[in-house]
Amino acid sequence: MISLISGGYYESILRDNSNITTYSLNFKKNFFIFVELFKLIRLCLRIKPNIIMGWMYHGNIAAVLVGLFLPKNRIYWNIRQSFYKDNKEKIFTRIVIFICKYLQFNVHKIIYNSEISKKHHELIGFKPRLGAVIHNGFDIPSYEKEKKSQIKRDLGIASSSIIVGHVARFHHMKDHANFLKAIVPILEKRKNIIVIFIGKDINLNNKNISKNIPINLKKYFYFLGEKDNAISVMSAFDIFCLSSSSESFPNVVAEAMSVRVPVVSTDVGDVRKIIGDSGIVVPAKDSIALQNGINYLVNIQVDKRDQLGLEAQLRIKTLFSLSSYCNNYQNEFFDL
């Protein structure tokens, strides 16, 4: 695995905890980008790969450039985002996407992680004949009811409280304001609900968050920051909420489902395919609809909510398992 920049979150994890050989370059920091490009090409010539796969737009361009020096190798692209009106991509990213449209001549296959991503990219000029969809895959963690109770105790949350969880870094496309507009009216009427936020820059020091939370309700909010073991905490949620205005395949939805948490989500990316009948899907940017969805799961009987959680977990196990994900990639690589 070759990373175009060094110091990424998963670099040390992959290096220290797997049998994957990793290399890091400095495209972002090195002013002489052609020096790094030369290093990349020389490294690939030394490794002599059978298949070259780019990951995201910058990696896809790098894969094509390397492929010019390894003409017998198949080039695969991997694309993992969709386009909505409020994506607000940076100018440089838009340029990179534009360049990608004209570098498909040497690409064997473009693998998208959602149907909506494939559709959006083909509308702007990516070739339909090259496209394939492989949804993300997930391990199913072991379920321990006592673990859920223990997490509540560790956080000082009463066992009778209903936890509504939200997991996302601060970004305009995650639309935290939409979630807060939906949950605050519920908190004003129900005092047995606790809201847990997990994500970078999500706290009361962030004015975009604090301005949407009335002072008298702040005690019902827990801000846990960015966590490596987020899924462990998510297992203590009673309800998970995704409020995004744009997604492709939101992993957090499937992760919540994998630990038996029913989901209320905005209708973005492939959410409908992920959730099916095990949760609730509402229009994006509609805080009233989101509020109604959360209210429904809050007010139903615990047994019914638990049953939805079981159905959610079974859906992930059946349709989005890690083993099927790996098999799908093998089938693409070997044309099975």
AA identity, residue 85? K
Residues 229 and 296 occupy one common structural domain? yes
- What's the number of CA atoms in the CB half-sphere (13 Å) around residue 305? 20
Residues 127 and 152 occupy one common structural domain? no
Find the domain containing 193 and state its range.
145-319
Task: Output the domain CATH number for residue 238.
Answer: 3.40.50.2000
Taking the C-alpha atoms of residue 198 and residue 223, their distance in angstroms, rounded to an integer, is 6
Exposure string of 54-72, with b = 16+ CB inside 10 Å and e = fewer, is bbebbbbbbbbbbbeebee
Residues 155 and 177 occupy one common structural domain? yes
Number of folded domains in the chain? Answer: 2
Residues 164 and 111 occupy one common structural domain? no
Residues 242 and 215 occupy one common structural domain? yes
AA identity, residue 82? S
Residues 207 and 304 occupy one common structural domain? yes
Eight-state DSSP code of residue 4: S
Q: What is the pLDDT of residues 90-132, one digit of tens each?
A: 788 889 999 999 999 999 999 999 999 999 999 999 999 999 9
Q: What is the pLDDT of residues 240-283, one digit of tens each?
A: 999 999 999 999 999 999 999 999 999 999 999 999 999 999 99
Would you tell me how many other CB atoms lie within 10 Å of the CB of residue 172? 14
Would you tell me how many other CB atoms lie within 10 Å of the CB of residue 19? 5
- The DSSP annotation for 44-73 comes to HHHH--SEEEEEHHHHHHHHHHHHTT-TTS
Residues 273 and 159 occupy one common structural domain? yes
SS (H, E, C) 301-317: CHHHHHHHHHHHHHHHH
Which residue's structure tokens are 């490009």? 37
Residues 39 and 164 occupy one common structural domain? no
Residue 86 banded pLDDT, cuts 50, 70, 90: low
Residues 304 and 270 occupy one common structural domain? yes
Contact 111, 80 (CB under 8 A): no
Check pLDDT > 90 for residue 34: no
Residues 168 and 125 occupy one common structural domain? no
pTM, 2 dp? 0.90
Residues 201 and 65 occupy one common structural domain? no
Q: What is the pLDDT of residues 196-213, one digit of tens each?
A: 999 999 999 999 999 999
Contact 167, 232 (CB under 8 A): no
Residues 130 and 150 occupy one common structural domain? no
